[in-house]
Amino acid sequence: MKKMSKKIKILTLLIALVIIAGMIVTFTIGFNFDLKYQETKKIQLYLENKFEIADIKQITNEVLENQDVVIQKVEVYEDSVNIIAKDITEEQKTEIVNKINEKYGIELVADNVQITNIPHMRAKDIIKPYIMPFAIATIIVLAYMAVRYYQLGMFLTMAKTLGILVITQAVLVSVIVITRIPLGGITLPLVLAVYVLSLLGLTSHTEKKLAEKKEEEK
């Protein structure tokens, strides 16, 4: 029992340190955003015909060296392309247009292509669409836990469930911000995975507690 208590204390301390470190990094450096959420620049080109993203990617790799670039097909007929990067200068825009003209035998005019500034998206704006679904799911989970394990104490079970869900998500967010994992496409699957695994672990543990209580009552 003493050894277990010591392990719990160490684990609690580690969790607290990770969360505190995550808060410090968040308020000092902030999140590392995926490119599509950063302040970027975009050019849109009408190529008249269908094209291969790989071909455009090869051109942008030559012109926009050492930059992450997002290439998107637009329009119904997929004959236009958006090229999004952290920075695109007038000279780079002209070079991209010239190389695309050469590749596809078209006559785009660089002066007619606008460089559009895309503002930075805030973290709260990214997570806002997911707040309500997560809140509803959590309420359903709490109601289920309260009914299923009422013999262990409804309010205690609900409090324990909510506490574990909040702490695991806080640790996950802290790890994401500390390790500089880009906030974007990969983070939502991570959040969902940790959420589900936390519930599975908690349910398994609570089922054992319930079985022990029923055995004692017999």
Query: Above 90 in pLDDT, residue 176?
Result: yes
Query: Above 80 in pLDDT, residue 164?
Result: yes
Same domain, 213 and 126: yes
Q: Which of 102, 118, 134 is the last residue of a domain?
A: 118
Backbone angles phi, psi at 56, to 5 degrees: -65, -40
Same domain, 134 and 162: yes
Edge-first strand listing for the sheet containing 69-74: 69-74, 80-85, 40-46, 116-118
Same domain, 102 and 77: yes
Cα–Cα separations (whole angstroms), residue 55 to 58, 59, 62, 71? 5, 7, 11, 11
pLDDT value, residue 192 = 92
Confirm whether pTM is higher than 0.85.
no
Q: Is the dihedral of CA 155, 161, 162, 167 positive or negative?
A: positive
What type of residue is 63? V
Q: Which of 118, 143, 172 is the last residue of a domain?
A: 118
Domain that holds residue 44: 39-118
How many structural domains is the chain composed of?
2
